[in-house]
Amino acid sequence: MTRLLETAIERLRELPDEVQDDLAGALMSLMNLAHSDEGLDEETRLAIAEALDQADRGEFASDIEIAAVFGRPLV
C-alpha cells in the first residue's frame, strides 16, 4: 500500500460512519470505472484520468467540502 493511500485511509477513519460508507462506495465505483473502459465516452475517460492524476498529486477535498457535497454537517 502506498503512503498516500495509507494517509487517505487514516483520514477516512476519522469521519462519521455514514460518510465513510458514502466515500467507500464512491471509491469502489471509481475503481470499477478505472479498470473498465467499456461504455465510457472520451469525456468520461478524461475526467477519470484527471481525477486519478489529482489523487496522485495529493489534491483532495477538505472534510468541510466533502460534508457540503453530501449535505451533512461536519461532525
Q: Please state, in angstroms and as integers, the Cα–Cα distance from residue 14 to each residue in 45, 53, 62, 65, 74, following that order.
A: 31, 24, 13, 15, 11
Domain boundaries, the chain: 3-69
Q: Is the pLDDT of residue 5 over 70?
A: yes
Range from 29-33, 36-40, 43-47, 71-75 carrying the lowest mean pLDDT: 36-40
Question: Tell me, what DSSP letter sits at residue 15?
Answer: S
Q: Is the pLDDT of residue 43 over 70?
A: yes
So what's the pLDDT on residue 37?
Answer: 60
Q: pTM surpassing 0.75?
A: no
**If 0-12 CB within 10 Å is exposed, 13-18 middle and 19+ buried, where does residue 72 land?**
middle
Interval 8-33: pLDDT, tens: 899 999 999 999 999 988 888 888 87
